[in-house]
Amino acid sequence: MKTETWYTYILLCDQKTFYVGMTNDLENRLIEHKTKQSFFTKKFSDMRLVYCEKYTTDHEAALREKQIKGWGRTKKQMLIDGKLGVNICTDFADVSLVELTESKSTSPEFTEGRGGAVLLIFEPCGL
């Protein structure tokens, strides 16, 4: 039986608003955010993945998502800064989601964006 991986993640939208979500397909979910298929994030032009946690069940991920959504901005920032937990996406915390493609791949791909490489496939950060 294949074990499914679930993620609870935080996006920083337009350098001011945190979006907290959960998914079992982080790459596809980030593409949905960038291509304005998400109701809440479609109004933002700049989104950055700033935090991510990995879980083995959707129930665990949902509980953590609900907990983080109940926090204020300061506590969320402390989590992102590593003061309250382990950010498994630390290596890519400043990666902009400037140019996502809708094609899927099994190997890491990079594309040029503002200020350098923009990660498309997030597997290198332990996802």
Whether pLDDT at 116 is above 50 = no
60/111 Cα distance (integer angstroms):
33
Q: Are 53 and 6 in contact (CB under 8 A)?
A: no
Return the higher-pLDDT residue of 14 and 91.
14
Has residue 102 got a pLDDT over 80? no
Q: Which amino acid is residue 33, in one-letter code?
A: H
Q: What is the pTM of this model?
A: 0.70
Band (81; pLDDT cuts 50, 70, 90): confident
**Considering the chain, what percentage of its residues have pLDDT values greater than 90?**
50
Alpha helix (H) ranges present in 35-109? 58-69, 73-80
Task: Name the residue with higher pLDDT: 85 or 113.
Answer: 85
pLDDT of residue 84: 82
Q: What is the pLDDT of residue 100?
A: 41
Is 93 in a helix, a strand, or coil? coil
